[in-house]
Structure 1
Amino acid sequence: MTRTFTLPDLGEGLTEAEIVAWLVAEGDVVVVDQAVAEVETAKSVVEVPTPYAGVVERLCAGEGETLEVGLPLLEVGEQAEPSGDRAEPSGDQAKPSGGRAEPSGGGAAGSAAAPQDETYREEERAGSGNVLVGYGTRDGVPEGTGPRRRRRPRDPGRLARGAPRPGAAGPGGFRSDDGTRVPMTGFQKAAATAMARSRAEIPEATIWVDVDFTPLTELRASRPDGPGLLAYLARFTTAALAGHPVLNARVDAGRDEIVRLDRVHLGLAVQGARGLVAPAVLGAERMTTAHLDAAIRDLVARAREGRATDEELTAGTFTLNNYGGLGVDGSAPIINHPQVAMLGVGRIIDRPWVVDGSVRPRKIAQVSFVFDHRVCDGVEAAAFLRAVTSAVEDPLSVIERL
């Protein structure tokens, strides 16, 4: 008997998911609750376990395809007997003999697969520099090898969603008269919706100032085992928000109210495995600079690997964007709706700067601030920006007061 496993309801109103990778192939033997596929939703990459045991007869979608909840994911048939003809049971005492048959292609998954999973994921996370290969990617791992094999269906023409389009231009894309079309992932669609909503609803304004980072970089250099620059910026930001709470807020347009929030969940723009995300350090207003440093390093590492929690990805109340790491001086970013403001820092470079009447080389960076003009005017926005930048230019005096 063949049983069809359909894409289950993944919760939180999600109606579709993209097949990132198959963890089994046709002909493999699976057990109940074994992960059979990695799927990407608008929120995260998750493993989907099968409710059936048996032999995988058919994979009903290809990697890179998007399925709606309720459509067939794979078909599981009964497992063949290990050898010969099985005698019919006699009464209630007769039981089948022999163990589970191994599939002809090898690679049967059993209880031993669990400890191998983490090894596989760690291999995938190995990257160069500061960019990690995210969980669920296929780069650098040959398909059909490793503890958890990833092979494409043997017969793509049998896919439930139809055969590949003519003129296919690689995974997920196809050529048409006006160029190559690549379907947006669930994550990309969710991000596009959020950004479009921000532009449509928020009357944003941007201000900026060039800031002398020399004192802060010297402080950082004098404490090589101390907090990083981003941790200091985070601490100065939370301190400035304490003096300007209207910028840590939400706009309730339906009731014409500004809702000031009690906690600062400080979002950080991170280029993760699935794209740009802004996970938040929860309760950042209560943390010291050292505590913020540890929390930021942990959060950024997990976000790059796609392991930030749903709460961290959605709870942000204010975002700090260090786009200087991209090698750019300035930006006017889109506010992360439903937040009302974002602080951005460009690259720190040596520039001639006038200090006490003399021109000297200094470490200068542009700091920009984009805000929702519904919650405050330019005077308060400028005061907030100056509170942060003054702390950068004289960090010791500010740290003593914090």
Structure 2
Amino acid sequence: MSEARVFLLPDLGEGLTEAELVSWHVSVGDTISVDQPIAEVETAKSTVEVPSPYAGIVAELHGQPGETLDVGKPLISVTPVSTGEPAAAPEPAEPVVEPVETELGESTDSAADAHPEAEAYREEEKAGSGNVLIGYGTPGGHGVAKRTRARKSSVAVAEPSEAPSAETKELDDLSLLRTRVPGKLGAVISPLVRRMAREHGVDLGDLPGSGEGGLIMRKDVEAAISAPSVEPVETKPQPSVEPVETQGLDPRTGLAISSRTPVKGVRKAVAANMTRSRSEIPEATVWVDVDATALVELRKELKAASSEVPGLLPFIARFVTAGLKKYPELNTRIETASDGSQEIVSFDGINLGIAAQTDRGLVVPSVRAAEKLTARELDAEIRRLTDVARQGKATPTELGSGTFTLNNYGVFGVDGSAAIINHPEVAILGVGRIIDKPWVVNGELAVRKVTELTLTFDHRVCDGGTAAGFLRFVADAIENPNSLLADI
């Protein structure tokens, strides 16, 4: 009988190193086909279905629903259904020569030669399921697919202390290329490098990458490991948690502990991103009250003439993209090189992030090329993105490609907020609720529809004059909307 093939949890993009197993779609003994969804997992970005790159009979499920699995660890074992004549029985010493996983997920040549059946499968695998890397496809279509099998040893990656050979570096580079996420290279590291960093306590968030586009290479992690200052032995005070749990009392307050909720998934990612934003970005905030009466009345007139009229947010989104064209400093990103020097990176286009509250936490899907869309088109795309985000189905690209964020917290009944910038962006605009307020119009007091706009910006990319100019531009557009909405 053929030996079971082990499918490892693939790289899910965006530099994610783990995923929570939500549910299995298959059971032990089931016959599955290539690309058949086998499990649903929840990452810090979204909930995705994992397809199988193998066809055969499910031999083992490596994990229970609710368990957190590391990228590169076994997910499922599949026994292929034998075709043609069975392979000859191996000699006693053969199991040692069996196809063995190298550090980069390749089978050794000697193992392939010893097992014709394995070589036949390699040909099958070269056709590529197209789905091993979720959202980005397998390299099978390029004729260079690699077999993914259980690793020889989980400690093997921590051993190399000498400089890697040219061949090893070439293989590392290939692995890194396979794990890149389009448009966001600097934050993506191969499972090999991530595991090395995790085992040695290296914080990848603060580690500059020497590869193309800031890609973090194995040599970068090795350099951090050998640096004298890196000795992270601080994560051991967990034994103190055990007595607290058994006693049921909090030693600081003396109160009974009612529950403990692990910080994971989207909540964990939001916490890490907000912490990084607060620690790295010297932010400043400006705000202004705006008379939105004209915009509200314009929408009422359009609604009277047509049933398909955008909400108020898409109109404001149109004003924001127009403002960013005039003040492009707020549509940038700051990149820090390994030598500490910094660059302001500008973009030819605007990916407008829309903050959306979901059951899994706050996420920010982005409308790509938002500056090219009309108010109606923006309305349709915003509705689509918020819907998939609330279902947990937004892709890493949709959640990680924004250049500026628009946050409509007015829907929660609040007027203003000193929002935290969505790192690595440099600004976020908040819109408060629209309510009736006394307002002076042409020297007379009147009741108007008033909202508050709040702009938080990175003081490294611009000064207050630029931020105030952008905020005033958007405010003026809300107060006099007709000039900018000819192409609703």
TM-score (norm 2): 0.58
Residue 360 of structure 2: which of 274, 287, 300 is its match?
274
Count of aligned pairs: 309
Corresponding residue of 2:322: 239
**Bigger shift: residues 305-314 or 327-336:** 305-314
CA 1:176–1:71: 2 relative to 1, 3 Å = farther
Report the 3-state secondary structure (helix = DSSP H, G, I; strand = E; otherwise coil) of the residue aligned with 2:485: helix
In the alignment, does 2:5 pair up with 1:8?
A: no
1:91-125 CA-partner distances (Å, limit 9, x unpaired): xxxxxxxxxxxxxxxxxxxxxxxxxxxxxxxxxxx
Task: Name the structure with the higher helix share.
Answer: 2
Aligned partners of 1:296 and 1:176: how far apart in 2?
46
CA 1:29–1:273: 2 relative to 1, 3 Å = farther
Retained in 1: the 8 A contact 2:415–2:432? yes
Aligned partners of 1:356 and 1:27: how far apart in 2?
79
Report the 3-state secondary structure (helix = DSSP H, G, I; strand = E; otherwise coil) of the residue aligned with 1:200: helix
Q: What RMSD, in angstroms, separates the aligned Cα atoms of the two structures? A: 2.9
Residue 53 of structure 1: which of 56, 66, 69 is its match?
56
Residue 21 of structure 1: which of 14, 20, 23 is its match?
23
Gapped runs of 5+ residues in structure 2? 87-244, 251-256
Corresponding residue of 1:219: 298
Retained in 2: the 8 A contact 1:7–1:68? no
1:333-380 CA-partner distances (Å, limit 9, x unpaired): 110111111111011112222222333222111110000011111122
Counterpart of 1:23, as a letter, is H
Counterpart of 2:365, as a letter, is P
Corresponding residue of 1:193: 272
Retained in 1: the 8 A contact 2:439–2:445? yes
Counterpart of 1:48, as a letter, is V
Aligned partners of 1:286 and 1:32: how far apart in 2?
39
Retained in 1: the 8 A contact 2:290–2:450? yes
Counterpart of 1:183, as a letter, is P
Q: How does 1:358-369 map to 2 (within 5 A)?
A: 358-369=444-455
Aligned partners of 2:55 and 2:374: how far apart in 1?
50
Residue 64 of structure 1: which of 41, 63, 66 is its match?
66
Residue 43 of structure 1: which of 22, 25, 45 is its match?
45
Shift of 1:301: 2.4
Retained in 1: the 8 A contact 2:283–2:459? yes
Retained in 1: the 8 A contact 2:332–2:425? yes
Task: Name the structure with the higher strand share.
Answer: 1
In the alignment, does 2:396 pair up with 1:310?
A: yes
Residue 459 of structure 2: which of 355, 373, 380 is its match?
373
Shift of 1:266: 0.8
Report the 3-state secondary structure (helix = DSSP H, G, I; strand = E; otherwise coil) of the residue aligned with 2:310: coil
CA 1:401–1:346: 2 relative to 1, 3 Å = same
CA 1:241–1:78: 2 relative to 1, 3 Å = closer
Aligned partners of 2:45 and 2:281: how far apart in 1?
23
CA 1:8–1:174: 2 relative to 1, 3 Å = farther
Corresponding residue of 1:210: 289
Aligned partners of 1:174 and 1:66: how far apart in 2?
24
In the alignment, does 2:250 pair up with 1:250?
A: no
Report the 3-state secondary structure (helix = DSSP H, G, I; strand = E; otherwise coil) of the residue aligned with 1:232: helix
**Bigger shift: residues 176-185 or 376-385:** 176-185
Report the 3-state secondary structure (helix = DSSP H, G, I; strand = E; otherwise coil) of the residue aligned with 1:364: strand
Gapped runs of 5+ residues in structure 1? 80-88, 90-172
Corresponding residue of 1:260: 346
CA 1:295–1:384: 2 relative to 1, 3 Å = same
TM-score (norm 1): 0.69
Counterpart of 1:217, as a letter, is V
1:33-87 CA-partner distances (Å, limit 9, x unpaired): 432210112333222234353356x5443222101234443556799xxxxxxxx
1:166-218 CA-partner distances (Å, limit 9, x unpaired): xxxxxxx9996543222222333322221111111100011111111111011
Counterpart of 2:284, as a letter, is A
Shift of 1:6: 4.9
1:18-44 CA-partner distances (Å, limit 9, x unpaired): 011222345655455432210112333
Retained in 2: the 8 A contact 1:9–1:15? no
CA 1:386–1:40: 2 relative to 1, 3 Å = same
Report the 3-state secondary structure (helix = DSSP H, G, I; strand = E; otherwise coil) of the residue aligned with 2:322: helix
Aligned partners of 2:370 and 2:265: how far apart in 1?
30
Aligned partners of 1:19 and 1:46: how far apart in 2?
10
Aligned partners of 1:384 and 1:270: how far apart in 2?
23
